[in-house]
Chains A and B, each alone.
Chain A
Amino acid sequence: MEIKKGIAVSPGISIARSLIIDSEDYRIPRRSINPSQRMIEIQRARNAFKDAIKELTQLEAGQESKEQRKIKDIFAVHLRFLHDRSLRKKITDLVHLESVTAEYAVSATLREIASHFTNVKDTYISERAADIYDIERRLLRRLLGQKREDVEHLTEEVAIVARELSPTQTAGFDKRYVKGLATDAGGRTSHTAIVARSLGIPAVVALEDLTEIVSGGDTVIIDGNRGIVIVNPDSETVRQYEEYSQEFAELEHKLDAIREKPAVTRDGVRITLLGNIEFPDEAELVLQKGGEGIGLYRTEFLYLNRESEPTEQDHYRAYAETISVFKHRPVIIRTVDLGADKYTQSKRFAPEPNPFLGLRSIRFCLQNLMMFKAQLRAVLRASVLGEVKIMFPLITNVAELMQAKMILRDVMEDLDEESIAYNKDIQVGIMIETPSAALMASTLARDVDFFSIGTNDLTQYTLAVDRGNELVSTLYSSVDPAVLRLIRTVVQDAHKAQIDVHVCGEMASEPEYIMLLLGMGVRTISLASPMMPEVKQIVRSVTMEDCNNLVRKVLGMNSERQIAGFLRNAARRILPEAF
Chain B
Amino acid sequence: MQPGEDTLEKVVCEAEVQIKNADGLHMRPAMQFVDVANQFDCDVTVSNGETNVDGKSIMQMSMLAATCGTKLKIKAEGADAQQAINALQELVEGKHFDEPTPTEQGKN
A-side contacts of B35, CB under 8 Å:
80
Let me know if A561 is at the binding interface, CB within 8 A. Answer: no
Query: Any chain B CB within 8 A of the CB of A122?
Result: yes
Contact with A along B17-34 (1 / 0, CB 8 A): 000000111111011001
Range class of the B interface residue count: 10 to 19
Inter-chain contact A125/B34, CB cutoff 8 Å:
no
B67 interfacial by beta-carbon distance below 8 Å = yes
Chain B interface: which of A82-90, A270-278, A429-437?
A: A82-90
**Residue B43 is within 8 A (CB to CB) of chain A in the complex:** no
| A residues contacting the other copy or chain, number (CB 8 A) | 21
Identify which of residues 79-132 in chain A touch chain B, using a CB-to-CB cut-off of 8 Å: 80-81, 84-87, 90, 113, 116-117, 120-122, 124-125, 128, 131
Q: CB of A374 within 8 A of chain B? A: no
Q: Which residues of B contact A77 (CB under 8 A)?
A: 27-28, 30-31, 58
**Residue A73 at the chain B interface, CB threshold 8 Å:** yes
Q: How far is the CA of A121 from the CA of B65 in the complex (A)?
A: 10
Given A120-B65, A122-B65, A122-B67: A113 touches B59 (CB 8 Å cut-off) = yes
Do A125 and B65 have beta carbons less than 8 Å apart?
yes
A125–B24 contact, CB under 8 A?
A: yes
A131 and B27 contacting across the interface, CB-CB below 8 Å: yes
Q: Is A76 an interface residue (CB 8 A)?
A: yes
Which among B34, B57, B62, B63 has the highest number of chain A CB atoms within 10 Å? B62
Query: Are A76 and B31 closer than 8 Å at their CB atoms?
Result: yes
Which B residue's beta carbon lies closest to that of A126? B65
- Complex interface: chain A residues within 8 A of B24 (CB): 122, 124-125
Whether, in the assembled complex, B82 has its beta carbon less than 8 Å from a beta carbon of chain A, the answer is no
As a 0/1 sequence over residues 155 to 184 of chain A, the CB contacts with chain B under 8 angstroms (1 = contact) are: 000000000000000000000000000000
Please give, as numbers and ranges, the residues of chain A lying within 8 Å of B80 by CB-CB distance.
none
**Structural contact, B63 and A125, CB atoms closer than 8 A:** no
**Contact of B58 with A124 in the complex, beta carbons under 8 Å:** no
Evaluate contact between B26 and A81: CB separation under 8 angstroms: no
In the docked arrangement, what's the CA distance between A73 and B99, Å? 14
Complex interface: chain A residues within 8 A of B60 (CB):
86
Task: Indicate whether B54 reaches chain A with its CB closer than 8 angstroms.
Answer: yes
The answer to whether A84 and B26 touch across the interface, beta carbons within 8 angstroms, is no
The residues of A that contact B30 with a CB separation of less than 8 Å are 77
Q: List 29 A-B contacts (CB under 8 A).
A: A73-B31, A77-B27, A77-B58, A80-B31, A84-B57, A84-B58, A84-B59, A85-B57, A86-B57, A86-B60, A87-B57, A87-B59, A113-B59, A113-B63, A116-B63, A117-B62, A117-B65, A120-B65, A121-B67, A122-B24, A122-B67, A124-B23, A124-B26, A125-B24, A125-B65, A125-B67, A128-B26, A128-B62, A131-B27
Using CB atoms and an 8 Å cutoff, list the residues of chain B in contact with chain A. 23-28, 30-31, 34-35, 54, 57-60, 62-63, 65, 67
List the 7 shortest-distance A-B pairs measured between CB atoms, nearest first.
Answer: A80-B58, A120-B65, A86-B57, A87-B59, A77-B27, A122-B67, A84-B59
